[in-house]
Amino acid sequence: MQFPDEPVSSPSAIRIEDLLAADDAPAQPVVPAREGLPRSFRMRADKHYVEMLDAPPPKVETAEPTVSAPRTAEPEDADPEATAAAIQAGRDLAQSLAALRASTNLLSERTPALASTVAANLIRAESWRASCLLQVSRFLRGEIVAAPKPVRVQRIFDEIFKSIEPERRLRSLVVEERISVADSRIIADEELLICALSGLLMATAGLTEEPTFAITVTAELRGTDVICSIAQDQVRPPSNWRTDWAAAGAARVLATCNGRLAMGATSTGTEIRITIPRPS
């Protein structure tokens, strides 16, 4: 088959000099012909496009968006003492819930009346302790914030004494109440303050397991302040008493209503003094 651009070979046109020169010339590398095409065939296109026909299509690399794990930013004003107190409150909460679960095993139809009464008091006491621990620890971690509003001081102590009653019965605890605040009011978050002061009272009650342990709770008006006290004169406090979750939590709750907390050891016992200003 003759292609148009292929020159016609003629035996008479070949000279002996050309044949001799071809023998002396160095051997040229043999370029394999493209399959299906003669050597003399020329594409009317650039070499670049011919190579693209045989080369695989280039892969287009798309950069996948990198999703970084969310970072939990620590507050710049994080208080190490508050964090430690919140961790301790969490541990105590776990213990309180374990005691609560165990006490439910004492309740059954065949349980004697006395055991049922003890179990019921234990459940109520541990439920209240767990509630106080939960609220204070959430406040210390910054999960909830105080919402101060006017509240009667007498109502706060009534709720504390009512909530602490099951534990008082279990421990044979003597709580002497000396509350003389008339109809005075303070600006505070009622729920948080009740939990904080209850925690202080329960921390004082937990200083000993001795029966007939006596605690005196007082509250009175002095000028523009309400002065409260939780005292006992039977047991010396442990070394970590002032850094306990109850103390750390109460100090920070009181700060939301411009209150102050002072904890001290007497010659034979302890005294906690709380000062809360009344609105002018």
Q: Which residues contact 21 (CB under 8 A, 6 or more apart)?
A: none
Beta bridge partners, 232, equal 270
How many domains are contained in the chain? 1
Judge whether 123 lies within some domain: yes
Average pLDDT of the segment spanning 64-70? 43
Q: What is the CATH number of the domain that holds 273?
A: 3.30.565.10
* Single pTM value for the model: 0.65
Transcribe 78-134 into DSSP letters: --HHHHHHHHHHHHHHHHHHHHHHHHHTT-STTS-HHHHHHHHHHHHHHHHHHHHHH
pLDDT higher at 18 or 204:
204
β-strand partners of 264: 271
Which of residues 271 and 245 earns the better pLDDT score?
Answer: 271
Domain extent, residue 94, equals: 80-277
In a domain, 114, yes or no: yes
Amino acid at 232: Q
Domain membership flag for residue 2: no
Tell me the pLDDT tens digit for each residue of 255-271: 999 999 999 998 899 99
